[in-house]
Amino acid sequence: MNRIDLEGRVAVVTGGAQGIGLAITERFLASGAKVVLWDVDKAKLDETLSGFAKTHVGRVSGQVVELTDDGSVAAATARTVAGAGRIDILVNNAGITGGNGTTWELDPAIWRRTVEVNLIGPYLTCRHVVPVMLKGASGKGDGPGYGRIVNIASVAGKEGNPNASHYSASKAGLIALTKSLGKELAAQGVLVNAIAPAAARTAMFAQMKPEHIDYMLSKIPMGRFVEVSEVAAMAAWLASEDCSFSTGAVFDITGGRSTY
């Protein structure tokens, strides 16, 4: 594994207690960063933090956050800054699939909840974290600002998976948010990019029908699902100073499915 330099950086990873978020956390820690996990699942968060207790003392912590609630995100941001001094990196990873069904069969409540978690949540985190990043490393507003925002989107947001209109639409919205915010911040030291992976075998598979999983695999020329470690490697580079002239971009990691 190549070591990308994140030494001294403070990263927030949403949904970091498992799956892709956990893999990103592990890669960031290996690269020298301090990581604060924001997760709604307290039991899973406590379990994950206990696993890091001996190996990464003082370098990883967590907060229970309801990412769709503006007040909860504001409070988490304030607590993180109070504890760590700043936020250099934000990874918007938390997400749900919302199950599968045709557009006309999906329950409106499930449709709304999927959009709330996958799109409104990242909007709210950016709303509160970006001003912190713009203050610069000193935290006093004397700049220059530094920040890296990595949004975990999906190839479904580019192509639209059948029987997943809610998930596809939410990830398409996240891609558009990435492009807009990237342009707004392009000259201010904060870079915003998205990763659009093919499916990875995570706990989210439990929310999907077997035939939908088979459909996703059939679309990947490499004939396998992406490994969470592969997504984490891309996230680490996008979070680093080496990524210096890319913003508002979407980075595919789809095993050949998406070649545009």
Where do the structural domains in the chain lie, given as residue ranges?
10-253
CATH superfamily of 10-253: NAD(P)-binding Rossmann-like Domain (3.40.50.720)
What value does the mean pLDDT take over residues 210-237? 91
- Secondary structure letter of residue 208 according to DSSP: S
Buried b (16+ CB within 10 A) or exposed e, 106-134: beeeebebbbbbbbbbbbbbbebbbebbb
Token readout for 179 is 């492009």
Mean pLDDT in residue range 157-161: 95
Edge-first strand listing for the sheet containing 60-64 = 60-64, 34-39, 10-14, 89-92, 147-152, 190-197, 249-253
pTM: 0.92
- The reported pLDDT for the residue numbered 252 is 95
Q: Is the pLDDT of residue 13 over 80?
A: yes
Residue 74 has pLDDT above 90, yes or no: yes
Residue 142 has pLDDT above 70, yes or no: no
Look at residue 129 in the predicted model and tell me its pLDDT: 98
Active site residues: 167
Higher pLDDT, 181 or 58: 181
Q: Which of 1-5, 34-38, 142-146, 152-156 has the lowest mean pLDDT?
A: 142-146
Higher pLDDT, 66 or 143: 66
What is the dihedral angle through the alpha carbons of 78, 119, 204, 239, rounded to the nearest 10 degrees? -60
Q: Mean pLDDT over all residues of the chain?
A: 93
Answer positive or negative: Cα dihedral of 43, 30, 202, 21.
positive
What is the rounded (10 degree) CA torsion for 219, 220, 226, 231? Answer: -90
Q: How far is CA 183 from CA 151, 177, 189, 208, in A?
A: 15, 10, 11, 35
- The answer, yes or no, to whether residue 132 has pLDDT greater than 90, is yes
CA–CA distance, 44 with 248 (Å, rounded to integer): 32
pLDDT grade for 143, boundaries at 50, 70 and 90? low
Give me the pLDDT at residue 138, please.
Answer: 47
Tokens of 156: 């479904």
> Residue 99's pLDDT is what?
92
The whole-angstrom separation of Cα 148 and Cα 92 is 11
The rounded radius of gyration (Å) of the Cα atoms in the chain is 17
Structure tokens at 31: 């690269």
> CA-to-CA distance for 12 and 60, rounded, in angstroms?
10
Lowest-pLDDT choice from 87-96, 158-167, 169-178, 213-222: 213-222
Per residue in 185-204, pLDDT (tens digit) is 999 999 999 999 988 777 66
Q: Which residue from 55, 67, 194, 183 is spatially nearest to 122, judged by alpha carbons?
A: 67
Please state, in angstroms and as integers, the Cα–Cα distance from residue 16 to each residue in 60, 90, 236, 260, following that order: 11, 11, 14, 29
